[in-house]
Chain A
Amino acid sequence: MNKPLLALALAFGIASVASVQAQTPPAASPAPAINDAQIAHIAYTAGVIDVTAAKQALQRSHNRAVRAFAEEMQRDHTAVNEQALALVKKLGVTPQDNPTSQSLASGAADEQKKLATLSGSAYDKAYVDNEVAYHKTVNGALSGTLIPSAQNAELKSLLETGLKLFQSHQMHAEHLAQSLK
């Protein structure tokens, strides 16, 4: 696993621990449970990261299939984030920054820098491989931590819809990665 994704997995691991701790009896110094405002922030951040990666791909790639995939990522993650923003506004929740979101953002920035040094087929392969790994990790976090921890039914439902969408993205990315080999 590359460094940014390891950071991402660790970040979600922290969220998982926080979630588990929320359900166990109070310890001497319990870590704060992940709340809906933090979950919304993490999900939104994950979407923004993939939109940013897609924009970079549209600037750097000349491969038609890779560009079509990047357009799909940009369009879908933007649409889901618009829904997420509308929902938090409706619920009167202010997304709350947290260590998981910060780790996600910093890991993604590292990945962007790495990808910026590549071009041609090397770039295409690295971008798509990272998309496979990124969606796999985010989907694992959604199903393992974020959805089970969400308290608000509408937020949970949006996350579940997001999971279906991102699973489809992962499948698309895997097919694309195969075709680039």
Chain B
Amino acid sequence: MLRTTILLAGLLALTGGILPASTSNAKRPATTPGHHVHVIVIDQMQYGPMPTDVHAGDIIEWANKDILEHSATARDGHFDVDLKPGTSGRITATAGTLAFFCKFHPTMTGTLVVK
């Protein structure tokens, strides 16, 4: 019984079954020392609070906790991250004002200032 449990746990670990369900459909660049990851949570048709003190080179991650598909799509066309329910996606921030919206729900908008 114990052996079966250990085998099962091993299999789950190998297949990712006990890892977080979050997947990414944007590139996940390795964070370099000094660069931070800023997470914007999406839930109930809203982008959560915008992170402050974001610097060029930092990682912006959108985590979709909603039951619907969303996106983080740049107004200027620089990025378009599709976010299935329960997934996350990342970009590397560049200096300036990042205005984005959900291409599936145009009433969802966000603006982020990157120093």
Contacts and interface: CB of A to CB of B under 8 A. Distances in A.
B67 interface: yes
Contacts of B40: none
Contacts of A165: 44-45, 68
A172 B105 CA distance: 8
A161 B44 contact: yes
Interface residues of A, number: 15
Contact of B108 (A80, A83, A168): A168
Nearest to A170: B107
A72 B108 CA distance: 13
A114 interface: no
Contacts of B106: 68, 172
Main secondary structure of the interface of A (DSSP, over half): helix
Interface residues of B, number: 13
Contacts of B107: 168, 171-172, 175
A116 interface: no
A164 interface: yes
Interface in B53-83: 66-69
Contacts of A172: 105-107
Nearest to A167: B45
Given A165-B45, A168-B45, A72 B104 contact: yes
A91 interface: no
Contacts of B105: 72, 76, 168, 172
A102 to B, nearest CB: 27
A83 B67 contact: yes
Interface of A: 68, 72, 75-76, 79-80, 83, 161, 164-165, 167-168, 171-172, 175
8 contacts: A75-B68, A161-B44, A161-B67, A164-B45, A164-B46, A167-B45, A168-B107, A171-B107
Given A79-B85, A161-B67, A167-B45, 5 more contacts: A161-B44, A168-B45, A168-B105, A172-B105, A172-B107
